[in-house]
Amino acid sequence: MSEAIHADKVMDLKGLPCPMPVVKVSKGIKEVAVGQILEAQTTDPGSLTDFPAWARTSGNEIVETIQENGIIRIFIRRKV
Amino acid sequence: MDQQMREDLLKLFQTKLNRAMVYYLETCTRCGVCTTACHVYQSMPQARYIAAYRAEIVRRIYKKHFKGQGKLWPSYGEAKELTEAALQELYDAAYSCTGCRRCMVYCPFGIDTQMLMSIAKLLLVGAHAEPEILTLLADTSIEKGRSLEFFKEGFLQGVKNLEQKVVEKWKLEAEGKTVIPVDVEGAELLYVALAGAHSIIPAAAVFNAAGENWTLSFFEAVNFGAFVGDPTRTKLILDRIVNEALRLKVKEVCICECGTAYRVMKQLSGTQPFKVSSVTEVHARYLREGRIRVSKKAFEGQVVTYHDPCQIARNGGVLEEPRFILQHLTDDFREMAPDPRYNYCCGGGGGLVALGEDTLDFRMKSAKVKAEQVQKTGATVLATACENCHTQLSDLNRHYGLGLNVQFLTSMVADALVVS
Ligand code: SF4
Ligand code: SF4
């Protein structure tokens, strides 16, 4: 795996049914401090549109997205 | 609650008062027939879980504010002021009802409790007292529609990464063909999936095996606006898909295994140049027309039953197709009792599954009757055609130790594909 940003919390959301990835990340982001990074790991292509749209809606920021070996890693900075 | 808020909420209430709704509000004779129809009451026999009792909470506010009852003697006529306490009662009634409409088929007057609960949900949205996460999910879907250009590339890459898995299932030489086509103008069929790979891979395998000229939607099918009972958000979410279908000039919009998505698309998309189908209907058609072949090997020696998702079966009319498909997949299919039209809700509808862990205890207790209904069939495989139902049935399976293999019907078809 390529070197990624340091995450303060990592959530494994692989294979979860709809809408659990977004539900869980909404809760998970509150478990890191403002400014810290949450890494969400998934295998669902829909997450690549869901998460950025969720970040805009909830006022957080996607700082990086990495797709490798079938795993999607989304790094989210808590902003609010 | 201040006067302004009350007036605003009553204006929202007013928007719901069409002829059917007024009929539902003014007709109940309290005969009690609906009492045992509700899976919640059957599993947890408490008055507050009776369909007519839930409806009465909305009805009392209607009587007070729209019929003028109880103005002289507030305790008379069971009219009730719209207050903070009333909002709490509305919440409890609406979010313990899954909107399955089983009570409606028993009620001699056809009173639709789910519709009455939609008033409760709308008032909660107006008062910002709805479950926050449902609104956030709905707003996320709407934002996706607005900002698609920003997200497109990542999605296309993500879809590309699934192709190998589709080819494995498809078992055909896929060379030269696009395995998961996206954004194809002039395709016959637009498939609207969910975010999960499990909603795309088997469906893609079956479309390709059938030689379908199809294209995958950028959007997810589920409509959280409908779950939270907000007509404005429901329409915005729906319009994304309608506009995509119009832009691509498809002849058919095929909704994945998501009950609410299917009902909303079928009943609220209006007159369009495309038809709306559930993926179950499409698969049944492929089998009927000989476009795909399946073998019974994959489920040999298994006893299979099928859970009818309320929004697809009772409320969407898709009853015969899943059974037709299952005839091709197993020699030992066992119907649940009572029959499909009266099938019990899985207990996860109305947004309850989307509320996750917060509703888990209630969902398990209130669907005891469902677990018993499944168990009585003696099935080893429980098939269904809705993501929401699948999650809830899997939770029930674990909670009640049913030892079942809970399956999506689409996956069963994909696993049983025979290549000629
Ligand atoms: S069955 Fe219909 S009329 Fe009878 S109590 Fe229930 S809602 Fe009212
Ligand atoms: S719609 Fe379903 S959950 Fe709601 S009251 Fe009727 S039977 Fe119960």
Residue B347 CB less than 6 A away from ligand 2: no
Which residue in chain A has the smallest CA separation from B356?
A20
User: Is residue B62 located within the same domain as residue B181?
Assistant: no
- Name B170's Cβ contacts closer than 8 Å, sequence gap at least 6: B179, B204, B205, B208, B209, B417
Asked if A73 and A65 count as a contact pair (C-beta separation under 8 A), the reply is: yes
Q: Identify which of B35, B19, B406 has the alpha carbon closest to the alpha carbon of residue A17.
A: B406
Q: Identify which of A6, A62, A63, A7 has the alpha carbon closest to the alpha carbon of residue A31.
A: A7
Pairing of strands A37-42, A9-12: parallel
- Mean per-residue pLDDT, B262-291: 97
Residues of B in contact with A53 (CB under 8 A): 140-141, 143-144, 147, 151
Which residue in chain A has the smallest CA separation from B151?
A49
Q: Write out the two tokens for B259.
A: 């009950």
User: Is residue A1 a part of any domain in this protein?
Assistant: no
Instruction: Give B127's DSSP letter.
Output: T
Cross-chain residue pair A58–B136, CB shorter than 8 Å: yes
The predicted-structure confidence for A66-76, as pLDDT tens digits, reads as follows 988 889 999 99
Asked if B237 and B211 count as a contact pair (C-beta separation under 8 A), the reply is: no
- Mean per-residue pLDDT, B391-417: 97
The residue behind tokens 């030269």 is B176
Residue B222 maps to which CATH number? 3.40.470
User: Is residue B266 located within the same domain as residue B137?
Assistant: yes
Q: What domain range is A52 assigned to?
A: 9-77
pLDDT band (50, 70, 90) for residue B420:
low
Which residue in chain B has the smallest CA separation from A27?
B133
Q: Identify which of B346, B322, B178, B333 has the alpha carbon closest to the alpha carbon of residue B257.
A: B322
User: Is residue B256 located within the same domain as residue B305?
Assistant: no
**In chain B, what percentage of residues exceed pLDDT 90?**
88
- Ligand 1, atom 7: closest residue by C-alpha: B52
Q: Identify which of B166, B418, B170, B165 has the alpha carbon closest to the alpha carbon of residue B292.
A: B418
**pLDDT at residue B406, rounded to an integer:** 98
The predicted-structure confidence for A19-70, as pLDDT tens digits, reads as follows 999 999 999 999 999 999 999 999 988 899 999 999 999 999 999 999 888 8
Of the residues A10, A18, A34, A53, which is catalytic?
A18
User: Is residue B17 located within the same domain as residue B105?
Assistant: yes
Option in B140, B222, B390 nearest A53 (CB)? B140
Tell which of B130, B159, B190 closes a domain: B130
- Mean per-residue pLDDT, B85-113: 97
Ligand 2 atom closest to residue B41's alpha carbon, by position in its atom list: 8
User: Is residue B138 located within the same domain as residue B257?
Assistant: yes
**pLDDT at residue B173, rounded to an integer:** 58
Three-state SS at B269: coil
CB of B154 within 8 Å of any CB in chain A?
Answer: yes
Cα gap B146→B215, rounded to integer Å: 21
pLDDT band (50, 70, 90) for residue A1:
very low
CB of A29 within 8 Å of any CB in chain B?
Answer: no
User: Is residue A21 a part of any domain in this protein?
Assistant: yes
- Ligand 1, atom 8: closest residue by C-alpha: B28
User: Is residue A18 a part of any domain in this protein?
Assistant: yes
Residue A52 maps to which CATH number? 3.30.110.40
Instruction: Tell me phi and psi for residue B136, to 5 degrees.
Output: -60, -40
- Mean per-residue pLDDT, B154-183: 83
CB of A15 within 8 Å of any CB in chain B?
Answer: yes
Q: Write out the two tokens for B31.
A: 């005969």
Does the predicted interface ipTM exceed a cut of 0.90?
yes
User: Is residue B107 located within the same domain as residue B137?
Assistant: no
- Name B396's Cβ contacts closer than 8 Å, sequence gap at least 6: B346, B347, B364, B367, B370, B371, B374, B402
Chain A contacts in chain B segment 238-297 (CB below 8 A): 258
User: Is residue B311 located within the same domain as residue B187?
Assistant: no
**pLDDT at residue B167, rounded to an integer:** 84
Asked if A39 and B146 count as a contact pair (C-beta separation under 8 A), the reply is: no
Residue B98 CB less than 6 A away from ligand 2: yes
pLDDT at B335 over 80: yes
Residue B40 CB less than 6 A away from ligand 2: yes
Cα gap B61→B219, rounded to integer Å: 38
pLDDT band (50, 70, 90) for residue B171:
low
| Ligand 1 surroundings by CB, under 6 angstroms | B 28-34, 51-52, 107, 109, 111
User: Is residue B55 located within the same domain as residue B97?
Assistant: yes
pLDDT at B164 over 90: no
Other CB atoms within 10 Å distance of the CB of residue A2: 6
Which residue in chain B has the smallest CA separation from A64?
B154
Q: What domain range is B330 assigned to?
A: 294-418
Tell me how many domains chain A contains. Answer: 1
Over chain B, what is the mean pLDDT? 94
Residue B397 maps to which CATH number? 3.40.50
The predicted-structure confidence for B140-154, as pLDDT tens digits, reads as follows 999 999 999 988 888
Tell me how many domains chain B contains. Answer: 3
Give residue B107's identity as a one-letter amino acid code. Answer: C
Three-state SS at A62: strand
The predicted-structure confidence for B295-309, as pLDDT tens digits, reads as follows 999 999 999 999 999
pLDDT band (50, 70, 90) for residue B177:
confident
- Mean per-residue pLDDT, B304-333: 97
DSSP-derived secondary structure for B274-322: SEEEEHHHHHHHHHHTTS-EE-SGGGTT--EEEE--TTTTTTT---HHH
- Mean per-residue pLDDT, B311-340: 96
Residue B261 CB less than 6 A away from ligand 2: no
User: Is residue A2 a part of any domain in this protein?
Assistant: no
User: Is residue B110 located within the same domain as residue B158?
Assistant: no
User: Is residue B114 located within the same domain as residue B245?
Assistant: no
The predicted-structure confidence for B1-26, as pLDDT tens digits, reads as follows 899 999 999 999 999 999 999 999 99
Q: Which of B43-47, B177-181, B262-266 has the lowest mean pLDDT?
A: B177-181
Instruction: Specify the pTM.
Output: 0.95
Q: Write out the two tokens for B404.
A: 């079942």
Cα gap A18→B179, rounded to integer Å: 23
- Mean per-residue pLDDT, B400-404: 98
CB of A17 within 8 Å of any CB in chain B?
Answer: yes
Other CB atoms within 10 Å distance of the CB of residue B268: 14
pLDDT at B174 over 60: no
User: Is residue B112 located within the same domain as residue B196?
Assistant: no
The predicted-structure confidence for B203-225, as pLDDT tens digits, reads as follows 999 999 999 999 999 999 999 99
For residue B47, the CA-to-ligand 2 centroid distance in Å is 13
Q: Write out the two tokens for B315.
A: 């409320």
Active site residue A4: no
